[in-house]
Amino acid sequence: METELIRRTLARLASRFDRRYWLLHAEAGTHVEELWRALGDEGFLGVTVPEEYGGSGLSVSRLAVVAEALAEHGIPTLFLIVSTAMGAIPLVRHGTDEQKRRFLPGLASGASKFAFALTEADAGSNSFRLKTSARQDGDAYVLSGQKAFISGADAADHLLVVARDAATPEGQRPRLSLFIVPRDAPGIELHAMDIGIVGPERQFMVFLDEVRVPAANRLGGEGAGLATLFDALNPERIVVAATAVGLGRFALAKAIGYARQREVFGAPIGTHQGIAHPLALARTHLELAALMAHRSAAAFDAGEDAGMYANMAKMAAADAALEAVDTSIQVMGGSGFTKEADLMSLWPLVRLFKTAPVSREMILNYIGEHVLGLPRSYAR
Ligand SMILES: Cc1cc2nc3c(=O)[nH]c(=O)nc-3n(C[C@H](O)[C@H](O)[C@H](O)COP(=O)(O)OP(=O)(O)OC[C@H]3O[C@@H](n4cnc5c(N)ncnc54)[C@H](O)[C@@H]3O)c2cc1C
């Protein structure tokens, strides 16, 4: 599907499921199920899934266009990130034929949703310290541990859980593996976290107590855990970047409209360069970030190592989106703080992208070490 067609179709969809619809669900903490099904019906959730499994071919580039356009209409969904990107893409690249047949058609249609469970309170950004372990027991694995901040765990039917090999000898870097775990498997408990993000998806602590998962649910071959994990994390960064760009444009559109009509000293405030220039700068930074997001998507689709571009895109887009929202609030004066302006409601989600899914500092560490070749400043 061409970019323009995707954008036109999504604009039509966004008039049915508009920002008001999204805010109602965001404030209630309920999932935007009708929007999700409509996205599935129109084929947008299948853009990362090959045709033989009900999709239209693996393309992170198209997914980035979808994410950007939805956010531009003020209706972002984190499930596009944690399910369509982080669920489907590693499955396509690393799943067995049986896993693909079992899970991909549901992900492509929207009938099924994955949440992604990596973060743990004690490990933080250092994933090699995560404690959730997987012990092989006959033709099954037994998973135990605790995950934190897991978005949409209540609305997902499966969790993609990252666990360490329980047999890792003391003092050695653990081998990590991903497991497709039914959300209602015995031994799983969810505790909702109180997070100040306005959005339909809530965050959960996920407790895994001796959860038995068939060995057929391990994603990625023996020892391929890291490659599988990064084929989830890089698309996540790309789709987050696209979402941030879209949200930044959504905010700027409001401020630009306001700057055109608001008169204080006998002329629209947009006449003043003190108002026009920050808006122009913010727009420029958003478009630069958009280029980087699409460059990283193209690199991923071409099978190249997309790590550098994906990290840079996420960081640039988060910064640009924050600048756009902050500038928009400033341009609208006191009105920028009203509920009607609907800018303050954007702030937490846009701000989140500076910290998650990977923090600005960890991206700079990555660029310093892996792109610039500088020595690492911290130990694992
Ligand atoms: C709303 C929300 C939704 C989320 N959804 C999910 C999800 O669905 N699935 C999931 O697995 N996780 C999810 N997360 C977790 C998120 O990815 C992490 O919070 C994020 O990666 C940061 O990790 P941390 O909170 O452990 O921070 P920490 O690792 O404790 O870091 C704290 C601060 O120290 C800095 N820091 C740490 N080490 C270094 C260093 N070596 N050099 C410089 N600075 C450093 C960090 O950059 C950060 O600023 C979510 C989080 C939030 C808030």
User: Tell me: the pLDDT tens digits for 147-194?
Assistant: 999 999 999 999 999 999 998 877 788 999 999 999 999 999 999 999
Q: Which residues of 333-352 are buried (b: 16+ CB within 10 A; e: fewer)?
A: eeebeeeebbbebbbebbbb
- Among residues 267, 257, 281, 277, the alpha carbon closest in space to that of 332 is found at 257
Taking the CA of residue 365 as reference, the ligand 1 atom at the shortest distance is: 42
Instruction: Write out pLDDT tens, residues 56-87.
Output: 987 999 999 999 999 999 999 999 999 999 99
In sequence order, what are the residues at sequence separation of 6 or more whose Cβ sits closer than 8 angstroms to the Cβ of residue 307? 230, 234, 366, 370
Which residues are bridge partners to 211 per DSSP?
143
pLDDT at 1 over 70: no
Distance separating alpha carbons of residues 36 and 59, to the nearest angstrom: 19
Taking the CA of residue 82 as reference, the ligand 1 atom at the shortest distance is: 8
Count of alpha carbons within 13 angstroms of residue 342, beta-carbon side: 18
Which residues are bridge partners to 191 per DSSP?
205
CA 93 to chain centre: 18
Ligand 1 centroid distance, CA of 51 (Å):
35
Distance separating alpha carbons of residues 137 and 114, to the nearest angstrom: 25
Distance separating alpha carbons of residues 285 and 324, to the nearest angstrom: 9
Taking the CA of residue 116 as reference, the ligand 1 atom at the shortest distance is: 9
What mean pLDDT do residues 284-302 have? 98
Ligand 1 centroid distance, CA of 49 (Å):
29
Specify the residue with its C-alpha closest to ligand 1, atom 17.
357
Tokens of 247: 């949200």
pTM of the model: 0.98
Opening angle at CA 79, ends 159 and 212, nearest 5: 5
- Comparing 25-34, 88-97, 319-328, 371-380, the range with the smallest average pLDDT is 371-380
Give how far Cα 4 sits from Cα of 11, 46, 69, 72, 355, Å. Answer: 10, 18, 10, 14, 31
Query: Is residue 95 packed enough to be buried (19+ CB in 10 Å), middle (13-18) or exposed (0-12)?
Result: buried
Give the residues surrounding ligand 1 with Cβ less than 6 Å away: 82, 116-119, 124-125, 149-151, 195, 197, 203, 352, 355-359, 361-362, 365, 378
What mean pLDDT do residues 242-247 have? 98
Q: Which residues of 54-92 are buried (b: 16+ CB within 10 A; e: fewer)?
A: bbbebbbbbbbbbbbbbbbbbbbbbbbbbbbbbbbbbbb
Confidence of residue 104 (pLDDT cuts 50, 70, 90): very high
DSSP state letters, 100-128: HHHHHHHHHHTS--EEEE---TTTTT-GG
Longest dimension (CA), the chain: 79
Look at the chain and count its residues: 380
Mean pLDDT taken over the chain: 96
